[in-house]
Structure formats: C-alpha cells, structure tokens
Structure 1
Amino acid sequence: MDQNRIPAPVRRTYGADDLSEAPSFAGGFINFGDWHGIDLTAPTAEDRVHSQEQLYRRVLRTFPEPREQLRLAEVGCGRGLGAALALREFRFAAVTGVDIHPDQIERARAVNAKALATYPDRLAYTLGAADQLPFPDASLDGLYSVEAAQHFRELTGFAHEAARVLRPGGRLTVTTFFTADGPDAAERLSLLLASFADGLDVPHPLTAFTTDLTKAGFTDLHTESIGADVWPGLDRYLTDTVPTSHWTRNFLTAYRDGLLDYHVITAVHP
C-alpha cells in the first residue's frame, strides 16, 4: 500500500504526535467513549478507560451469536486494544485489526504482544486502507470501525470494499461522529473545531454514508444516535483533566447546535 496516501494531519497525529498518549484518551484507546451509566460527578482516568471500552462493547454486541464462529476485522484499529477486547470478551473466531498508519500497526503489535502470542491464529494486525482492505472477496463474517471513519477522505470506497470482503449475510457496524446535511454545517464546524479546519476530520453527512451503503448493496440499515451518551460525558471529563489550550470543548457545542452527532450504523450484506 502506498503510504503517500496517508493525509498529512493523519500521519502527524497518529505518528509523531501519538494521540493515544494524550490525557484525553486515557489508557491508549482512541475514542470519545460511551459514558452511559458512568457517574459524571468527578470522572476519573479509570472512568475514561471504561467509557472507551463501553463504546467497543456497544459495537461488538451488534454481531449475532454464536460469535465463536465469526471472523471479523476492525478498520482503523489504532493501537489495537479494541480488537484484543473483541477477542478476549466476545470470543470471536478471529479478529484482524487494520490501520493505514504503519506506526499504529507497530504499536498494536507491541502493546498486544501477549495476546498475539496467546492467540497466534486468531488475532492479527495488518496495514490496509478503508478503500483497499487486505482481504479476499467474501472472506469475513463481520466488519466494524470505531471512531475512525471521520478520518477517511471519502466513504463511498469504504462502503464498496466492505461489501466486497463480507460474505452473504455478513454484518457491518460503524460508529463515529457524522455531520448534518448541507455545506453550512461543514463551514461552521471548521470554525468551531481545529480538527475539521486542518483536515484531520472530514465532514461526512450521515445521509451520504447511508446512501453509499445502499448503493453498495447493503440492506437492513439501522442508524442510532448515541450523542447523549458521548458528548456530555466527554466534556465533563475534559473539564477537569485537559487544559483548554490543549483541547477544544466545542464538540459539545457543535452537538447542541445540531451540526454533528455520534451514531452507530449497522447494515447487512445480502
């Protein structure tokens, strides 16, 4: 895979800057978290890790039982902690973490060395892009992505690649933040949030992605807004943890203004 395809802000953020070391992403997971049921009076670093694990569990529960027969891949696996959790807690037949950034794959293999040694035929990490997945046709039972799709330059290729690698009846689950429709939302987000202004995050409207999935042949599409379980908890944790000069709290503002929301999308390959 051509590493020149990695956008400069993505290369920097997940390379030299290593976002997983930031206080806002305690524990090495890199997602905003599912804070449902967590006491927000004075959230701790342990609560932050729990929120990130909960987001993975919410996604992984969308795959049907018996899960021991399912072979899955995670697109945008980062340090690979979520893929290891998927194998450890949900006992899938196999899980492969895929990431476009070679530094992340190197970190994933190092951080999860014990799990890789314990499950040498069931857990793996490999380079790959969302629109160029390293799997044969119809080779996977499930594909999921946790807070990575906002970095993909476009989602049409991802939708078609997902359809290609999933067997008939295979399931796709994607969770991340999507924008409202219309150019005004994208313009306002670029003013509120540096990650949209510098191109780290791409303003993908939810309706555009669901249209891509339908055109790629997916059926049984379901979208669920989980913003109420994400944004207030994240903002409360950041209030006590991260200086405002290091992290903008405008995600909550953008959510309340209707510019973006966090969703879980599921679809089935017929």
Structure 2
Amino acid sequence: MGRPAPFVRPQVWETYGPADLSTVPVFAGGFINFGYWHRVDLEGPLSQDDRIRSEQDLYRHVLDAVAPTGGRAVEVGCGLGLGCALALDEYGPASITGVDIHPQQLRRAREANSPLLAARPQRLRFLLGAAESLPLGDAEFDCLYSVEAVQHFPDLPAFAREAARVLRPGGRVAVAGFFTVDGAPAPEERLAGLLETFAGGLDIARPVSRLADALAEAGFAGVRADSIGPQVWPGWDRWLARFWAPGTWPRNFMAAWEQRILDYYLITARTGPHGPGDGSSG
C-alpha cells in the first residue's frame, strides 16, 4: 500500500489550489517568493524581468548554501517546480526531487516542466508529500532545501527530524523563509493585526529560534540563522507598490520588519560524517 494523501490545511489548500497563487501578477514568472533583490537597482523603476530575477536569485542564494553539484537534492515545498528546474540547469546535481503537499501544485509542476521531465527522466521527479512525513528513503539525499514554504509547516520539529532522516552523512540543509524576530513582544497578535495571511492562518508566526533549535535537537551541527531581510523586504515593498497603495495590508510586511516583529532568514545546518550531528559523544 502507498502512503495516504497528506492532510492539507484549508488555508493552504485554497491558496495554492483553486486560488493558484502562482497566477497572481505580484508573483511574476510563476515563482512564489518575495525575492532576493541584491542585483536589482531599487532606485529606478522595476520591471517584470527584475522581479523574476529576484525570485531566481533567492533560489540561487539558497542553493549556494547547500552546494548540490553532483549530489542528490530534494526541495520541500517545490510549488511549480521552477526552482527545481533552475537547480538542475545551473548547479548540476545528479538528481532533483521536488516534494509538495498540494496535489494541484504537483500537477502544475509536471505540466510546467514536462519537456525537462521527458528529456531527463532520471534526474527530475515530483512527489506528493508533507514536510513532516517525506515520501523518501533514509539517507537518500546529499542536500535538502526549502524556499519560502516553511511558514506553512505546522510542525517544525517533525520537519527537522525528517530532514535528518533523509540526508546522508555530510548532508546539508538550507531553509529560506520569514519568522518572527526572537524576543519580539506578542508577535502573533501584532502580525495578525498587520497582515491578513497571519490573521487567516495561512502563515504561522514562530520565532526563527524554533527551527534552529529543532534542527539542533534532530542532531544537526553548525546550525545558523542569518537575517537576509535587507536583501528581501525593501525590494519586495517596492514591487508591491505597483499593485497596492500605502496603508493596504500587503505593504505591512515592510512595517513588520521595521518594527522588528518579522524578518527573513536563511537557516543552514549539516549532518556529521556519521549522520546527523558530528558523530561524537562529547
């Protein structure tokens, strides 16, 4: 018997299914992330090409951290699989597996990448699965990454344990996403008052230390959580200004960052030579 279909929270089901967030103009190009704007001139007018470059560059920043060249890589929360295709074309992994919890997203990913799937069937695949229960074998991968999906994962410790399980000794993990700032007072209530995605339960407010601690408890070593907010929020807000007026709720992402409630992070860690951690007892 196969695995049962994973439970999809209603907010996630609607947003990534019938609503199809990838078709919303603010997510130009089909990527669904806020972007990494370090190569874009924010003083001038922004083009759709600038926006797509920012989304691709966020993937590149994450992929640089896991160095997938020659290894087997898995993306958790792959969406339309455009990041998988970018990784395959630019980083030369032996194979890429994209995992997503939403069956409609998986169908779209297979459609969007049908030429690549036909040309490289041994190097690219898409699987249905939850971050907390990955449909993957033990020690199957050299690296695992996730780009702006972690804010939807309901159980970060379970995700961390699964990442440890599917990675080989010496494997690397990199997760990009937005979290509450450690020590921020009443972040859940404040974010719910600022941003509809938190008020409605699509995004889950957790401090970045929650994931860092979960990775450490799962046996990972060298856990780091680095803010990349300066490369994300100003560009994202400039792009949002094309669609949303000041004072509307999407523009409050910038306000949440400026008030030190929310930030964007890259969290990285590695397994030791004998598996998660360093394999030593001391």
TM over 0.5: yes
Which residue number corresponds to residue 194 of structure 2? 192
The answer to whether structure 1 residue 62 and structure 2 residue 96 are counterparts is no
Give yes or no for contact 1:23–1:242 (8 Å, CA) kept in 2.
Answer: no
CA RMSD of aligned residues (A): 1.6
Deviation at 1:248, TM superposition (A): 1.5
Paired letter, 1:229: Q
Gaps of 5+ in 2: 273-282
SS at match of 1:201: coil
Give yes or no for contact 1:78–1:99 (8 Å, CA) kept in 2.
Answer: yes
Gaps of 5+ in 1: none
CA distance in 2, matches of 1:52, 1:134: 27
The answer to whether structure 1 residue 227 and structure 2 residue 222 are counterparts is no
Which residue number corresponds to residue 131 of structure 1? 132
Deviation at 1:243, TM superposition (A): 5.7
SS at match of 1:52: helix
> Structure 2-normalised TM-score?
0.92
Which residue number corresponds to residue 213 of structure 2? 211
Paired letter, 2:158: G
Give the 3 Å change call, closer, same or farther, for CA 247–102 of structure 1 in structure 2: farther
Give the 3 Å change call, closer, same or farther, for CA 64–260 of structure 1 in structure 2: same
Q: How does 1:34-45 map to 2 (within 5 A)?
A: 34-40=36-42, 41-45=44-48
Give yes or no for contact 2:188–2:205 (8 Å, CA) kept in 1.
Answer: yes
Q: How does 1:70-219 map to 2 (within 5 A)?
A: 70-181=71-182, 184-219=186-221
Paired letter, 2:105: Q
The answer to whether structure 1 residue 237 and structure 2 residue 239 are counterparts is yes
Deviation at 1:197, TM superposition (A): 0.6
Q: Which sits farther off after the overlay, 46-55 or 241-250?
A: 241-250
Paired letter, 2:92: R
> Structure 1-normalised TM-score?
0.95
1:181-225 deviations in whole A, cap 9, x for unaligned?
466011100110000011100012111111111110000112211
Which residue number corresponds to residue 21 of structure 1? 23
Paired letter, 1:42: P
SS at match of 2:179: strand
Which residue number corresponds to residue 53 of structure 1? 56
1:12-65 deviations in whole A, cap 9, x for unaligned?
000000000011100000000000020122111111100000000001111237
The sequence identity of aligned pairs, in percent, is 51
SS at match of 2:265: strand
Paired letter, 1:23: P
**Count of aligned residue pairs for this structure pair:** 268
CA distance in 2, matches of 1:37, 1:111: 26
Give yes or no for contact 2:74–2:145 (8 Å, CA) kept in 1.
Answer: yes
Where does structure 1 differ by over 3 angstroms across 4 or more consecutive aligned residues? Answer: 1-4, 241-247
Give yes or no for contact 2:66–2:145 (8 Å, CA) kept in 1.
Answer: no
SS at match of 2:233: helix
1:112-135 deviations in whole A, cap 9, x for unaligned?
111111111001111010010011
CA distance in 1, matches of 2:135, 2:6: 17
